[in-house]
Amino acid sequence: MNVTIIGTGYIGLVQGVVMSDLGFDVVCIDNDEVKIETLKQGKSPIYEPELEETLKKSLKNGKIKFTLDYNSGIKNADVIFLAVGTPPLADGSSNLNYITAAIKNLAQFLSKDSLIITKSTVPMGTNKKIKKIILDELKKRNMGNLNVSVISNPEFLREGKAVYDFLNPDRIVVGIDENDNKEKIKKEIYKIYEYFLKKQIPIIFTNLETAELSKYSSNAFLSVKISFINEMAMLSEKIGANIEDVSKIMGFDHRIGNEFLNAGLGFGGSCFPKDTLAILNIGKNNDCEMSIVNSAVKFNNDLKDILIKKIKNKLGSTKDKTISILGLSFKPETNDIRESPAIKIIKKLINLGAKIKVYCPQGMEKTKKELENYSDCIKYCKNEYECAKNSDCLILTTEWEQFKNMDLERIKNVMKSNYFFDFRNMFSDNENIRNYFHYYPIGRN
């Protein structure tokens, strides 16, 4: 089966590379010439475990191609996936300009009946608008007789585990327009996702609006769960409770589950912040107050200030202090720094007069671009030991496995002072940690 994917960001690239490895003949289209040339050379512009190795394998086997050209890219397509970014606007709503431009480009070259599958996270009603745009463009070309179906098939991938998640989904959601031939589309979906049917992964067929809302609802709920446990962590510090034990106790309750119950710096990345703001905007436009989601977003933002206050209280002042930050990506096993809590912490500390040293296994280059205006205040280091050298304070902001194995005595010996704020609780069970540091985890004393 010939598959075309429009967009080579985190979602589109993973989709294309993994589908090619499953045996599909894949063409990926993007308007970024530099990115396309990079991908043709077998280099992934994003860090994701197993992604680059699989990309190189598929290129060698001739199962994946990359192009700027829509005409050649969709000419032989049996199915077309839309995986174009929908970044937030200032009011929290989704910017649909990129996906609209992609759709108009696509419609210029459609020449046969087509199944278009939207992977992008889009507000309710967007897929119907996509279909209308395509049909309007086809009519301009006197090709309005083509049968075009647009379905919603939201992704639920976790950055850092995207390849694994693509191959092992909890469920597959397919939203179909009530005016389309549902049985015909179901047969096509079963062919495309035969691999998952064999693994007995449930495929849930529903209408477009339900599929669109399911992605926002899932991410909003997980965001609420994260903010909830972090709020409990702040209370734990006040009353002498241990948030990790609290989380464990809660997690044994099958109604709650143990996922997303790790206290820390709050949620970040390309999805949760964007999607929670989007659902708030959607609620506002539909006269539906989303008070729970709004509270989760507010606390997530406030949490950084709460933790900065904690640092100031312990250090006495942050002015002219050298503070080392370990971890820049919003989570481990990715180089994505979008809405990273670490970046927000760094900006706040610089504004309070601190000098910053940073190290991250994958997030350094993107951080240099993001914090270009702060370059005079930041030193980028080659490892955790250089980062800790002569610092007054160490803050662990991303739980990379590499940090778990650092030599704590060596870290302590190279520091000027020995304050250690472990905002991911990586060392909270280490019996010797307090022999080396004034140690401050999250949600426990």
Give the tokens for residue 364. Answer: 């350094």
Asked if 177 and 116 touch (Cβ cutoff 8 Å), the reply is no
| Amino acid occupying residue 313 | N
**Amino acid, res. 304:** K
For 61, which DSSP code? Answer: T
Gap between the Cα atoms of 380 and 382, Å rounded: 7
> CA-CA distance, 189 to 78, in Å (whole number)?
12
Give every CB contact of residue 412 below 8 A, 6+ residues apart in sequence. Answer: 418, 436, 437
370 close to 343: Cβ distance less than 8 angstroms:
yes
Q: What are phi and psi of 82, to 5 degrees?
A: -100, 120
User: Which residue, 31, 29, 33, 34, is CA-closest to 13?
Assistant: 29
The residue from 271, 381, 387, 393 that is catalytic is 271
Q: Which residue has the tokens 């606007």?
A: 89
> By CB neighbour count within 10 A (0-12 exposed, 13-18 middle, 19+ buried), where does 275 fall?
buried
Does the annotation mark 288 as catalytic?
Answer: no
**What is the sign of the dihedral through the CA atoms of 414, 416, 417 and 419?**
negative
Locate 332 and state its tokens: 């481990």
Residues in the chain: 445
Q: How far apart are CA 17 and CA 58, in angstroms?
A: 7
Catalytically active residues, by annotation: 271
